[in-house]
Structure 1
Amino acid sequence: MTTIHRAAIPVVGHRPSCMISLMFSRRRFAMLGVALAVAGTALVGCSDSDSTSAPVRFMVANRVINLGHTQLAVAAENGYYGKSEVKYLTSDGTAATVQSIASGTADMGQADTLALAAAAAKGVKSVTAVCSYVAANIYQLLVSDSSDIRSVKDLKGKRIGMTSLGTGTYYNAVLALKSVGLTEKDVKFVTIGSPQAQLDALKKGQLDALSAIDVSIGTFQNLGAKLRTLDFDGATKWQWNVVVAKNDFLKKRPDAVAAVCKGIQSAELFVTKNPAAALASFKDWGGDVGTLSESQNINIIKSRSVTGFVTHPEGDDKWGWLPVDEMDGLAKSYQQLGLYDKPVVVSSIYTNELLDKVQPDKAKVDTDLEEARERK
């Protein structure tokens, strides 16, 4: 049985008094609002779920569990966590999630490679990434389908729109430029808030490209846009969202950690197989889809699941695999952007030791998919 704090219910514990906030030396990094607890520091008043029967406190790096996190609703609604009870908490972002896990106010949660590298740079050693959450870079560079821009290299001298210079859309764009020998000085970044305003500027020729998060692609499609993504190589290929666990919790309750990862991977397989059924599960769970039509909601789900709920040949096509060997190179790229001063080794805070235990329950997923088809 699974106990869930749903997105619509206020949750307690995402602003604990036992957290220690740190300011980072670089101005743009500070714009991220990153605050991380230093591992190894005595954190008074914080404790993890020691009891083997206690619910797993899983923190989502968002104030609301929206369609970008459909797999969490599906995992809960379809019973993919098995006997493990899971309580969802929310936070202001991936850095806040890492902070909460390090301080003991959450046991597991959704983070990303940047937040983990930043935490490691500040001495955090009490967390470990245990499986993938979105096995792809969620940030994309987009151009109009009719644009003459065919590659990242063609962006030299162009104007790139994004919501903010203090988010991953900015850092990913800079890393993409760097991968082809360009710098931020070779382009002009323009901040525009809403997707509609970004599209209007692109149509009017005020922008040449957009840097956006994957789920925004679904929003752009819902607004009638026809866009292309610009592919690029380099370390950002491995800039993923991952599931993180507190080390003490991982040591005491490895089976619970594996069960949560297995549940998420099973849910992601379900979502990729039938996005419409996943949307139905999201609604049944209590997720808010607003005023969008079913097809529009499915567009948003697919904009993440098609590229992010996947396996990779480098990981023998196993679900949940993490590119451990690539993480130090990615961390070096972050340092070269000036996000922290000194080199940091992060590969030690990633593990694939649970990989065989977190593979999806394909038989149950297939049964659930068949039942969903019959209901329809």
Structure 2
Amino acid sequence: MAISRRDLLKTAAAAGVLGGLPGLARAQIDTPEKPSLTIAVGGQALIYYLPLSVAHLNGYFKDEGLDATIADFAGGSKALQAVVGGSADVVSGAFEHTINLQAKGQFYRCFALQGRAPMIVLGVSKKTMPDYKTPADLKGKKIGVTAPGSSTNMMASFFLAQHGLKPSDVAYIGVGAGAGAVTALRSGQIDAIANLDPVISTLVKEDALQIIADTRTLQDAHKIFGGNMPAGCLYASQAFIDANPNTTQALANAMVRADKWIQAATPDDIVKLVPKSYLLGDPDLYKLALKGNREALSPDGLVPEDGPQTALNALAEFVPHFDRTKIDISRVWTNQFAIKAGQKYPHG
């Protein structure tokens, strides 16, 4: 008598031997524990977050069995607040937030990298500061950042500290990460800006901005931070990762696949994929910005070995009274999920 697959599964289940059916066992093991989840991000249209957009728009989250909702906020610090407050499960944000959280007794871990350099540019307005000569000229000025406490804020403060200025010597103004940021500088509401592309390239094209610090290439980022500086990444609480290892792996799979797709794609491919609103009305300028930032985008989702320490050093300079001796840097990152994702998608 022929035995159907259904009968075989019933018999196996009753005998407790599902482990003897590799395909079925693997399907059960790999199924995401939390298929519906929310990812918080601070300025999704920025090239900094392009891998997240690619993973979503290309359906990579769906391919991994996930129904991912993207919640977009004005800056990375706002996205962080969402996950800490419980309205989001995972953050697509700056790596250094994981360190700052641990300093406050909260344990979050990066598990898939999007950027291996910050891609943040600091520039001064040619309208309100036409005679700028040195960083000392910024004292008493208004600097626009995506949101106070975000990585743009940290980069600007770190640069100022290297030139003898304290964060209190300037006023930081949250201007977001899109057209509002461009308008803020154009209109003279701010004297300088720390932001990312396509915002920066738009202002440079208009000859409205003089760049004074740039982290869009590995070489420039190394000069400012002293080593590899991991940037955009997916991070979640350790409690979430422990409770949802399959979900975490599924997220990493989608992100690493997106990282690799970007490396192989042309600027035209990317412009066709992203929403028109990302382009700020100038597709050709967006393509140039893509070329200028490509090196800073992670090719494989892996955190460079020296990166976490570089981030810790930068944060210690940025946050007043920061005690780096209380930080266990090994607990803020892991490459185990990205490595496995790379094995699943060796070519994207």
Q: Would the TM-score normalized by the shorter structure come out above 0.5?
A: yes
Larger Rg: 2
Shift of 1:292: 0.9
| Shift in Å, 1:337 | 3.6
Q: SS where residue 242 of structure 1 aligns?
A: strand
Percent identity among equivalent residues?
15
Moved more, 89-98 or 240-249: 89-98
Size of the alignment, in residue pairs? Answer: 293
* Alpha-carbon distance in 1 for matches of 2:240, 2:174: 42
Deviations 1:84-138 (Å, cap 9, x if unpaired)? 213123154434444544565543221223432332122112x211121222113
| 1:294 partnered with 2:283 | yes
Q: Which residue of 2 aligns with 1:351?
A: 334
Contact 1:176–1:236 (CA under 8 A) maintained in structure 2: no
Sort the Cα spacing of 1:336 and 1:289 in 2 relative to 1 into closer, same or farther, 3 A: closer
> Which runs of 5 or more residues in structure 2 are unaligned?
1-30, 176-180, 214-219
2:121–2:196 Cα contact (<8 Å) kept: yes
Structure 1 counterpart of 2:165: 183
> How well do the aligned residues superpose, as a CA RMSD in angstroms?
4.2
Aligned to 1:308: 296
Maintained 8 Å contact 1:129/1:242 = yes
Alignment partner of 2:110 out of 129, 136, 139: 129
- Pairing 1:26-45 to 2, within 5 Å after superposition: none
C-alpha distance in 1, partners of 2:69/2:278? 18
- CA drift of 1:187 comes to 7.8
Whole-angstrom CA distance in 2 between matches of 1:325 and 1:236: 7
Query: CA distance change for structure 1 residues 226 and 76 in 2, over 3 Å: closer, same or farther?
Result: same
The superposition leaves residues 186-244 of structure 1 with CA deviations (integer Å, 9 ceiling, x where unpaired) of 9866869643563687xxxx96x753334422322453568556343335852522211
Paired position in structure 2 for 1:41:
none
TM-score by length of 1: 0.61
Are the structure 2 counterparts of residues 161 and 266 from structure 1 closer, same or farther at C-alpha, using a change threshold of 3 Å? farther
Structure 2 contact 229–307 (Cα < 8 Å) conserved? yes
Q: 1:195 aligns with which of 171, 176, 182?
A: 182
Query: Hey, which of these two has a bigger chunk of helix by percent?
Result: 2
Please give the alpha-carbon distance, in whole angstroms, between the structure 2 residues aligned to 1:105 and 1:198.
Answer: 32
Q: Which amino acid is 2:235 matched to?
A: V
Q: CA deviation at 1:322?
A: 1.6
For 1:291 and 1:234, the matched residues in 2 are separated by 30
Question: Any residues of structure 2 matched to 1:219-298 within 5 Å, and which?
Answer: 219-224=202-207, 228=211, 230=213, 231=220, 232-234=223-225, 238=229, 240-272=231-263, 273-283=265-275, 288-289=277-278, 292-298=281-287
Q: 1:322 to 1:190 in 2, by over 3 A?
A: closer
Matched, 1:155 2:129: no
Question: Is 1:107 aligned with 2:89?
Answer: yes
Deviations 1:238-296 (A, max 9, x none): 2522211333442344343233223223223333431221222224xxx6447614324
CA distance in 2, matches of 1:70, 1:192: 22
Distance 1:265 1:218, change over 3 A: farther
